[in-house]
Structure 1
Amino acid sequence: MQHQVKLELMDTHAGGDVSRIVTGGIMRLPGTSVRQQMEFLRDQADGLRRLLLEEPYGIPEMSVDLIVPASHPDADWGYIIMEVMGYPIYSGSNTICTATALLESGLIKKQEGVQTFTLEAPAGLVQIEARIQDGVVEAITCEGLPSYIHTYKASIEVPGIGPVTYSIAYSGGFYALVEAAELGFVLEASEERALADTAHAIVEAITAETEFEHYALGNVGPLPFLHFMGPVLQLSDTTYRSRSATYVHPGVICRSTTGTGTSARLALMQYEGLIEPGDSLETVSLRDTRFVGTYTGLANKQGQDVVENRITGRSFVLNRAEVIANEDDAMLSPEVVQSLRVLSTQRT
């Protein structure tokens, strides 16, 4: 008898980055918080992430978001983010996609005009503002995590490249921030492969020399992100624009500029005294898709000055699907099959 696992998905994208939203077929996970549920997936059932991001079902450039019941009484739903690098505790583009999927699936009922609700990420509660016109989700604004500069203008010798100047920001994950022009890039789509190769070498070099600790979370793992920064253009007294590209280790250049990448840029601009509360930065990707980050204020958390911010973008639904995984498919590793047996509520 053939044993199958069925998962209900809604594929979405924000700025070109595809997020596969798992809306059904997975059991309720153990844990008293979304963070604990994420840790269970990471440590006990990583096969779900691998199934949907690896051949033949997906590619590493995608992300996966599992919708789960919220554990916090103030949250409407929870969600767990899965990417090629593992399990980030927060992501702006994934949050925009998940919020859109919840509205489009009816799990959160749409309301015309500006609608607000709360989600629970592994990082904690996230306030969402959705702009809806004629039943269409036209924009999602979500809170970025409090962001800050950990290291400013350090230098490292990178094999095959030479000396590289970088800063380190935290915005939901640690980011190396580098000036694209100093490395010979203008941030066009034709440079994507070279950007990925360059970023890989820089991240490997930094990781070999340095570990980074968050002021509250401690060691959150090796450096996962690098953000290439284009020149900043001032459009008005309060608005700026910059071409940008975000790299996820290992090997992926995001289609969008990413929400956390945009938050990291805001942290650097604030650190350098270039923006004031209320100012916004529009980041523009290799594919000319855009997110807008707004600097809302400076706070002090446990002795660390942090930049509070919001990210605005738009997500589109690509398809609704039922994924069927056959347990005797040779393309599925034993680890993936075991994870699916543990997690699935729909097996035949």
Structure 2
Amino acid sequence: MSHPLTLQVMDTHAGGDVSRIVTGGIRALPGESVRQQMEYLRDDADGLRKLLLFEPYGIPEMSVDLIVPATDPAADHGYIIMEVMGYPIYSGSNTLCTATALLESGLVPKREGDQSFTLEAPAGRVQVTARVRNGVVEAVTCEGLPSYIDTYRTTIHVPSLGEVTYSVAYSGGFYALVESAQFGFVLSREEESRLAACAHAIVEAIRAEGGFSHYTLGDVGPLPFLHFMGPVEHVAEHFYRSRSATYVHPGVICRSTTGTGTSARLALMHHEGTIQPGDRLETVSLRETAFTGTLTGIRQEGRHTVVENNITGRAYVLARSQIVVNCEDPLVECAGLRHILTDEPIPHE
């Protein structure tokens, strides 16, 4: 490469979780669906994820979302989610950020009031509704993935902790759901490093006992996430609140409560009979940010009661910039990246 190339990006955050949205600088990817394009990135071009999530360009606590053309004719745009642990097929906070970036960049024309559009995630079609007031995107509501309880209140021995009681939900990934009171946590920011260490020990113990299988997707890999649950407060009719914290990677507690973590909580609360369709749960993070999950419906899939839901939050634009990718820089690793860089913008039509 004789000269540096650039990536066009918009940095955003939802609930404190930073998502870097890539809007240009990457060639059109092969694949007949966004899921196949994601698999191509994962298997043949993982250099983009590594470039933007690690030094000198980023940190593991961030996420990256690549805007790609939708393959579903009913969708306006596609997006591929990249995180330190790999390529999740869905993420609530990343969807909130991607939807906001599409509106703020003009890729989706912004209109006053409530407007709806459709995105294609690797998990499939996602309906989005944005509330715009005086040109500002004040809130975004996106569909959460259908969620269910796989395992309810079982125990495991964790060498550093003793007996731990947990449940397992699927909400876009498998989550261990753990009551924070078991360990004396009140879910404050001062506990962040101890929460991460505790969660890591539990996740490793659960992984050692085996994996989990989705009722249609099959094996989706080892359990990656743990969601600490604080006490549930009944705030008003059909409205609940709970402090929460989500572990995603060794040393990393999400700054937000995460959309998929909130969906997992809705599935658990419905399983326990404490909420019904139409009820809302606000999850509050260590940084006092919040997402609101709404239980919109239930259905039966074999032995699983599946919770349909949506997630509401707000994303903020942090920066609009170009990232210079200079493969002659000794700190820049271009393996798995050179072949997808381009001077041309991503085609979106």
Does the pair score TM above 0.5?
yes
Structure 1 CA distance, aligned partners of 2:110 and 2:299?
33
Matches within 5 A, 1:192-341: 192-301=192-301, 304-333=304-333, 337-341=334-338
User: Which segments of 5 or more consecutive residues in structure 1 lack a partner in the other structure?
Assistant: none
User: How far apart are 1:15 and its partner, in Å?
Assistant: 0.3
Post-superposition Cα deviations, 1:238-284, rounded to whole Å, max 9, x if no partner, equal: 00000000000232100000000000000000000000110000000
Structure 2 counterpart of 1:152? 152
Question: 1:338, CA displacement in angstroms?
Answer: 2.7
3-state SS of 1:345 partner: coil
SS in 1 for 2:129: strand
Q: 1:163 aligned to 2:163?
A: yes
Matching residue of 1:50: 50
Does 1:100 pair with 2:95?
Answer: no
Are the aligned partners of 2:197 and 2:250 in contact in 1 as well (CA < 8 Å)?
Answer: no
1:303 to partner: Cα distance: 5.2
Question: What whole-Å deviation, never above 9, does each CA across 1:153-193 have from its counterpart, x for those lacking one?
Answer: 11111121111101000000000000001111000000000
In the other structure, the counterpart of 1:72 is: 72
The answer on whether the counterparts of 2:46 and 2:337 sit within 8 Å (CA) in structure 1 is: no
Q: 1:300 deviation in Å?
A: 2.3
- Secondary structure of 1:248's counterpart equals strand
Query: Contact 1:2 / 1:327 at 8 angstroms: preserved in 2?
Result: no
The DSSP-based 3-state class of the residue aligned with 1:94 is helix
Q: After the TM superposition, which residues 89-128 of structure 1 pair with which residues of structure 2 at under 5 Å, given as runs?
A: 89-128=89-128
Q: Does the aligned pair in 2 maintain the 1:85–1:250 contact within 8 Å? A: no
Partner of 2:342: 345
Aligned residues of 1:187 and 1:245 also touching (Cα < 8 A)? yes
Over the matched positions of the two proteins, sequence identity in percent amounts to: 70
Matched residue type, 2:339 = V
SS in structure 2 at match of 1:235: strand
Residue 220 of structure 1 aligns with an amino acid whose one-letter code is V
The normalised TM-score by structure 2 is 0.97
Q: Which is further off, 226-235 or 152-161? A: 152-161
Amino acid at match of 2:73: P
Aligned amino acid, residue 225 of structure 1: F
| Aligned residues between the structures | 344
Shift of 1:72: 0.3
Supply the RMSD in Å over aligned alpha carbons: 1.1
Q: Distance in 2 between matches of 1:198 and 1:250?
A: 10
Q: What is the alpha-carbon distance in structure 2 between the residues aligned to residue 243 and residue 197 of structure 1?
A: 19
| Alpha-carbon separation, structure 2, partners of 1:138 and 1:155 | 42
Q: CA deviation at 1:313?
A: 0.1
State the distance in 1 between where 2:146 and 2:41 align: 25
The one-letter amino acid of 1:282's match is E
TM-score by length of 1: 0.97
| Residue identity opposite 2:274 in structure 1 | L
Measure the CA separation in 1 of the matches of 2:109 and 2:267: 34
Assess if the C-alpha contact under 8 Å between 1:216 and 1:302 holds in 2: no
- How far residue 2 of structure 1 moved from its aligned partner, in angstroms, is 4.6
Corresponding letter in the other structure for 1:10: M
User: 1:237: Cα distance to partner?
Assistant: 2.1
* Unmatched segments (≥5 aa) in structure 2: 345-349
Residue equivalent to 1:30 = 30
Q: Could you tell me which amino acid in structure 1 is paired with residue 151 of structure 2?
A: T
What code does the residue aligned with 2:56 have?
Answer: P
Look up the match of 2:63: 63
CA distance in 2, matches of 1:280, 1:271: 15
